[in-house]
Amino acid sequence: MLKEVKYPNEDINQNIPNDLESYWMPYTTNRRFKKNPKFFVSAKDMYYTTSDNKKVLDGMAGLWCVNAGHCRPRIVQAVQEQVAEMDYSTAFNMGHPKAFILANKLAEILPKDIDKVFYTNSGSEAVDTALKMALAYHNANGDSRRIRLIGRARGYHGVGFGGMSVGGMVVNRKQFPNHLPGVDHLQDTHIPEKNAFSKGQPKYGAERAHSLVDLINLHDASTIAAVIVEPVACSTGVLVPPIGYLEELREICTKNGILLIFDEVICGFGRMGKAFAADKFNVIPDIMTMAKGITNATVPMGAVATHKKIYDTLMTGPEHIVELFHGYTYSGHPLACAAALATLEEYEVENLFEKAENMELFFQENAHMLKDLDSVVDIRTIGLAAGIELKSRDDGFGKRAYDVFDNCFENNLLTRFTGETIAVSPPLIVNKDEVKIIFETIRSAILEVE
């Protein structure tokens, strides 16, 4: 028997559930959503279809993840075939071929010597795995005092206790007061008074990398295991690294025996117009985390790639003992591996990283056309990612951005809001007309919600 209809919108298509109460939605204002629910029921290429049959242009590649566009036949077919051939295989002391083939393919596009790949199921798990690997590496080196993990203010590294602790967005931290001990944070790189409306990398702020020197002076380098940063801090509103900043950070880490981890969960797989942000900025970390675009989001998957020195250091000791006591039931899941292999092929065959790189300038120019609007206080762009920061209204921080997001959706465009910033990150297949529609729709929305 169907329960009583709980949602108020009478027009909603009957295919959707009549009771919304049981599902506790992630990172969502549940009560607000359930008063005015929005449902996607299908997707193709650049568009979603809603339950009331509207076509919505995907200005966010889902959630920074559907980089090749939705339901691409090559990927759909690979997953369909794999599920019929072998649904699951344990990754503990057993292999299946695609897990190894995929690791080799990833190693081909990863920076030189970053060629050992460990699978997880999400970005959060990739981050926690990377942090644990850093600790295990120093431990195996006899450097067991190196236990400190350094994140950065305004960073986002997922929702595990490790990722939350090194993360630096206060809303994600303050509700859960006990974090990992021995964690500290670098200063963020946001300097709006000097860098507002920069196109690409801002000029000022390389010296912010020296906040790592301050932490070394405070704690001593011999106690610091690793520093983790997003090359571009996307979730907090697209903070682009100032020119020279990542290079400085790399140098300080190298000098002091500290591992540098790049969290490439969003930046990887073409978002920056290159395979990885490490390529875009020409700075090579010791460890990289990935997720999202690795499977085009078709099947959940994350991964950690490490420099071979880390793997080699851990491949010591007796061979009958597990070298890293870490892994997941679904590490290297056959469906995820099949999806990832097809996704990498799709990126290559369709030249999607080059397409993104070629579109970057046009995307940037269109984003920056919003500069003339009174309520726009900053625009930040790099690759195919943009953050449009709005002036807060008196009625509350973040309310203007939410209204703009809502207005865009009413006008058939999916964006995302974080604080008072509207984020844009379309699939890499986006064309010029669609880029124009995205920023024109945002312009109208900003004007309408004044």
Ligand X SMILES: Cc1ncc(COP(=O)(O)O)c(C=O)c1O
> What residues make contact with ligand X under the rule CB under 6 A?
122-124, 127, 156-158, 230, 234-235, 263, 265-266, 291
Q: Which residue has the tokens 């649904």?
A: 87
Quote the least distance from Cβ 147 to ligand X, whole Å: 22
Quote the least distance from Cβ 154 to ligand X, whole Å: 12
Quote the least distance from Cβ 125 to ligand X, whole Å: 7
Between residues 48 and 262, which has the closer beta carbon with respect to ligand X? Answer: 262
- In eight-state DSSP terms, residue 385 is E
Between residues 12 and 288, which has the closer beta carbon with respect to ligand X? Answer: 288
Between residues 259 and 437, which has the closer beta carbon with respect to ligand X? Answer: 259
Identity of residue 15: N
**CA–CA distance, 219 with 305 (Å, rounded to integer):** 28
Between residues 364 and 418, which has the closer beta carbon with respect to ligand X? Answer: 418
Between residues 58 and 230, which has the closer beta carbon with respect to ligand X? Answer: 230
CB 353 within 8 A of CB 274: yes
Between residues 119 and 407, which has the closer beta carbon with respect to ligand X? Answer: 119
Quote the least distance from Cβ 266 to ligand X, whole Å: 4
CB 295 within 8 A of CB 336: yes
- DSSP-assigned beta bridge partners for residue 150: 184, 227
Complete DSSP assignment for 55-113:
EEEETTHHHHT-TT-BT-HHHHHHHHHHHHH-S----SS---HHHHHHHHHHHHHSPTT
Residue whose CB is nearest to ligand X in the complex, by number: 123
Cα pseudo-dihedral 137, 141, 146, 149, rounded to 10: -10
Quote the least distance from Cβ 343 to ligand X, whole Å: 15
Between residues 304 and 404, which has the closer beta carbon with respect to ligand X? Answer: 304
CB 413 within 8 A of CB 59: yes
**CA–CA distance, 55 with 84 (Å, rounded to integer):** 32
Quote the least distance from Cβ 13 to ligand X, whole Å: 28
CB 408 within 8 A of CB 441: yes
Quote the least distance from Cβ 241 to ligand X, whole Å: 14
